Every structure is written in structure tokens, then in C-alpha cells.
Amino acid sequence: MTTAAIATPNALRQDASLIGLIGLAHLVSHFSQLLLAPLFPWIKDAFDVSYAQLGLLLTVFFVVSCSVQALSGFWVDRYGPRPILFVGLSLIAVAAFGYSVSTNYAMLMLFSVLAGAGNGVFHPADFTLINRKVSAQRLGHAYSAHGITGSLGWAVAPALLVPLTLAYNWRVALACAGLLVVVVLAVLWVNRHQLVLLPAAAVSQPEPDLSAQRPVTEANTFGFLRIPAVWACFTFFFIFAIALSLVQVFAPQAARQLHGVPLALVAICITSFMVASAGGMVLGGFLVKDPLTAEKVVGSGFVVAAGVALVLGMATLPAVAVPVLFALMGFSSGIVGPSRDLLVKRATPVLATGRVYGVVYSGLDIGQAISPLLFGVLMDQGAYRTVFIGLALVFGLLVLSTLSVQRARRTPTALATP
């Protein structure tokens, strides 16, 4: 029996445990993004502010998160992912408790800054751990689990906060949210030995397809910025965030106006999208065993999602069919998640993992910050069909962006210091 065969069961346990811990942290990241939004009706009355002012809290959250995400990539590469991850979780816990005791709008803004700073560390830290510690044959499943736990974080926030607010009040709900984050932090602290990434740690996956590039070194800190694939991936995530924000914020309401969807089914639309998206990620984890198929999976998934968006915008549909179509759109866009993450991994120099993911995934925050500004105007003008046509166009842009990533990844770019 070979050494590899003997080590396989232990390696499987280690990978599963690590993936679970990283997933818990990622759940908190997405959970933090919806700490305030489900409670807007109560917070609005408590502080006598407008929805525009409440929306500004979210804009500030994502702007800060974007800035910190780019910076935290450098910190992860320098200090390792574990301390950065702990700092992020701690900031989110403090922000949740801070929200719960806020007495004015300025305090809410301050804690939105803290929450955004905490949210900004997760992608560089998570993907550095995944790419450098998870076995190559389980990378697809790791990306899948990472995406699923993020979707669960979005689902858990309203499911926890709204019932607690109805039973007690919004302050109690946010305090309980803070306790949940502390529990997750405690779990990661107890298992902190699994999150160690030693400077000399062996990389369990093959090097990315960057044979013409020199490794990133301390003397060449910003060399990764000259890799075309980095900016192609950044653009991809920027466009993807616009689509995601549009689906979460405006598409259900636009469907309600176009197809006479009852309010109860409007809520089910976004739920069906997120649940189906998580299911798509499970299947997507199996489809990326062969890395060469990643571009095809991503492109095909978004083509289907674009087609569904056009049907929702142009066809005359019974109300009951709308949540089903949202589920199909969610499944087809969710299935691309693991392949999407693999594309970024293949474009990433090993010693610059944190930096690359910090820059690339900051595109998500920027897209989520500006999407409401772009499509909110259409909603105010009653251009509901145009909203879905716009969503289809965004999905189409994602197909083109995938091709751009594919071309850029194969473009040799030296990382030598000029």
C-alpha cells in the first residue's frame, strides 16, 4: 500500500474539517451584509430617518468592505489568514452589539464602518486557506461549500432577526446576532490549529497556468497587478455583483408588478432563488473535477440565466410560475460558483493568493454598491420590463467576461520588477 493511500482517510478528515470552519466564517460574512436591511422598518421609526438614509448605511458598508478587502489581501500574504480572519469576526461582533445599543443615526453609521471593515477580510483569508491547504481533488467541493455557506448566511439573517424583533424588539435581535458571531469566533478559536498556514507550507495543488510568470516576492509586491487575468476576474465579479444585487433587491418587486404576483409569493421568489442557487453550487462542485471545463460551465450557466430573465421580462406568466423561474435562474447561476472560483485560482500566483483575491473580490462590493443606483431609477419610472431586460444583458456580459478571463489567463505577463 502506498503512502498516499494510507494518508487518504486522514487527508479527507482534515479537508472536511477545514472546509467546515472556513464555511462557518463565510456564513458570518454574508450574515453581516443583511444585519440591518431586514430591520429597516423598525429602525426607520426608531430614528425617524428616511429609506435613503438607511440605504446610505449599506453603501458605506460596501465601500469600506471594498477598501478593506483589497488591503486585507496584502495582510493575509504577510501575516497569514488566521489572525486576519479573527480580526474580521471580532469587528462584526462589535458592530452587531454596537447597532443594538445605538441611540442616533451617527452611531449606526460608525458601526456600519466597523461591520464593513470586518466583512472585507473573508475572501482573501478563505480562499488562501482553501487553495493552499485543501487537497486538489476536493477543490471543487471546497468552492461549492464556500458558496453554499455564503447563501445560507443571507438566508439566516432575516430568518433570525425578524422573528426576534417581532417577539422582543430590534435591539434584542441585533444583540443575538452579535452572540451568534461570538459563538462562531469561539469555534474557530478552539480549532485555530487547523487555520495555520506556515510560510513553508507545501501547496497541495498544481501551480496555476502562469508558466511564463515569475513568482511574486516581497521585492515584487505589486507585480500581480500586471497579470491581465487579475483585472479580467475583477471585472467579472463587478458585473456578477450587479446581477446579484438586482435579483435580491428589485427583480421580485418588478415581477410583482408585471405578473400580479401576491406579496407572499414575492418573498418566496428570492427564497427560491437562493435555495436553488445553493443546490446549483452542490452540483457545480462535481463539475469542476476537470479544470478544463470551468469556462464552459460558467458560460452555459449564465446563458440559461439570461434566457430565464428575458422570459420573466417579456412573457405573460401566471403568478405561480414566477417563483419557479426564479428558482431556475438561481440554479443556473449557482452552478457556476465553484467553476468561477477555480478560474480565479488558476489565474493566481501561489505566493500572492491573498493579494489577488483581495483585489478580485473587491469587485463584488463595488458592484453591490452601485447596482441600486443604476436600476433604482428604472423602478421609480415603472420600467419593470426594462429591469429584466437589463438583468438579461448583465448575465450576457458575464458570458463575455468569462471568455475574457479565459483569454487573459493564457496571456503571459512577466512579474519582474521593472
Nearest CA among 344, 340, 346 for reference residue 357: 344
Inter-residue contact 21 to 187 (CB < 8 Å): yes
The kind and range of the H/E element at 128 are: helix 122-133
Residue 225: all three cell numbers together: 497587478
pLDDT of residue 292 exceeding 70: no
What does the DSSP assignment read for 58-79?
HHHHHHHHHHHHHHHHHHHHHH
Query: What sign results for the dihedral spanned by CA atoms 71, 73, 79, 84?
Result: positive
Inter-residue contact 239 to 396 (CB < 8 Å): no
Residue 172's pLDDT is what?
Answer: 97
| pLDDT confidence tier of residue 290, bands split at 50, 70 and 90 | low
Inter-residue contact 87 to 72 (CB < 8 Å): no
pLDDT of residue 311 exceeding 90: yes
**198 contacts: CB under 8 Å, gap ≥ 6:** none
Inter-residue contact 354 to 77 (CB < 8 Å): yes
Residue 328: all three cell numbers together: 431556475
Phi and psi dihedrals of 315, rounded to 5? -85, 160
Inter-residue contact 332 to 280 (CB < 8 Å): yes
pLDDT of residue 159 exceeding 70: yes
User: Mean pLDDT, to the nearest integer, of 385-396?
Assistant: 92
Inter-residue contact 56 to 108 (CB < 8 Å): no
CA distance 337 to 332: 10
Computed over every residue of the chain, the mean pLDDT equals 80
CA distance 69 to 360: 9
Residues present in the chain in total:
418
Inter-residue contact 100 to 178 (CB < 8 Å): yes
Inter-residue contact 46 to 107 (CB < 8 Å): no
Residue 269: all three cell numbers together: 421568489
Q: In terms of pLDDT, which residue wins out, 204 or 53?
A: 53
pLDDT of residue 24 exceeding 60: yes
Give the range among 57-71, 110-124, 222-236, 245-259 with minimum mean pLDDT.
222-236
Residue 417's pLDDT is what?
Answer: 36
CA distance 344 to 208: 9
Q: How far is CA 401 from CA 3, 87, 180, 243, 317, in A?
A: 42, 33, 37, 13, 31
Residue 221's pLDDT is what?
Answer: 60
Q: How far is CA 314 from CA 303, 389, 392, in A?
A: 17, 8, 11
Say whether 200 sits in a helix, a strand or coil.
coil
**5 contacts: CB under 8 Å, gap ≥ 6:** none
Residue 208: all three cell numbers together: 496555476
> CB-based burial of residue 218 (10 Å sphere; 0-12 exposed, 13-18 middle, 19+ buried)?
exposed
CA distance 44 to 63: 22
CA distance 344 to 348: 6
Inter-residue contact 242 to 251 (CB < 8 Å): no
CA distance 330 to 148: 12
Q: In terms of pLDDT, which residue wins out, 396 or 271?
A: 396
Q: Could you give the percent of the chain with pLDDT greater than 70?
A: 79
Residue 154's pLDDT is what?
Answer: 79
User: Mean pLDDT, to the nearest integer, of 115-134?
Assistant: 88
Residue identified by cell 454596537 is: 98
Residue 4's pLDDT is what?
Answer: 40
Residue 394's pLDDT is what?
Answer: 92
pLDDT of residue 216 exceeding 70: no
Inter-residue contact 115 to 75 (CB < 8 Å): no
pLDDT 10s digits, 320-360: 899 899 999 999 988 887 776 666 666 555 555 566 667 77
Residue 401: all three cell numbers together: 467576461
